[in-house]
């Protein structure tokens, strides 16, 4: 997957979990929980959705590594390669 495809997948799953968030409004460095008001339930749903869609099982200890769109894109790219 290209970086653009990963970002798109991430944003699609994020906006499915939180339909009131507009993908266009998500800044690449916006913190999901602090700035986008994603709570722990939303976050877990996002992690579940990414697991289903990309086959990447993100352990709780790695949650900080997907805290923003930029961080998540890099993390998921590495996991998808490995």
| Binding residues vs another protein (CB under 8 A) | 18-21, 33-34, 37, 39-41, 44-45, 47-48, 50-52, 57-61
Residue 18 or 76: which CB sits closer to another protein?
A: 18
- Whether residue 46 contacts residue 36, with contact meaning beta carbons closer than 8 Å, is answered with no
Residue 4 or 72: which CB sits closer to another protein?
A: 72
The distance of closest approach from Cβ of residue 66 to another protein in the complex, given in angstroms and rounded to an integer, is 12
């Amino acid at each position: 997957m290209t970086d653009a495809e990963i970002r798109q997948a991430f944003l699609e799953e994020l906006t499915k979990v939180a339909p009131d968030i507009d993908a266009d409004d998500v800044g690449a460095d916006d913190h999901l929980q602090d700035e986008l008001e994603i709570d722990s339930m939303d976050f877990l749903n996002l992690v579940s959705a990414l697991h289903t869609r990309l086959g990447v099982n993100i352990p709780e200890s790695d949650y900080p590594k997907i805290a923003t769109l930029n961080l998540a894109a890099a993390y998921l790219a590495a996991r998808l390669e490995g």
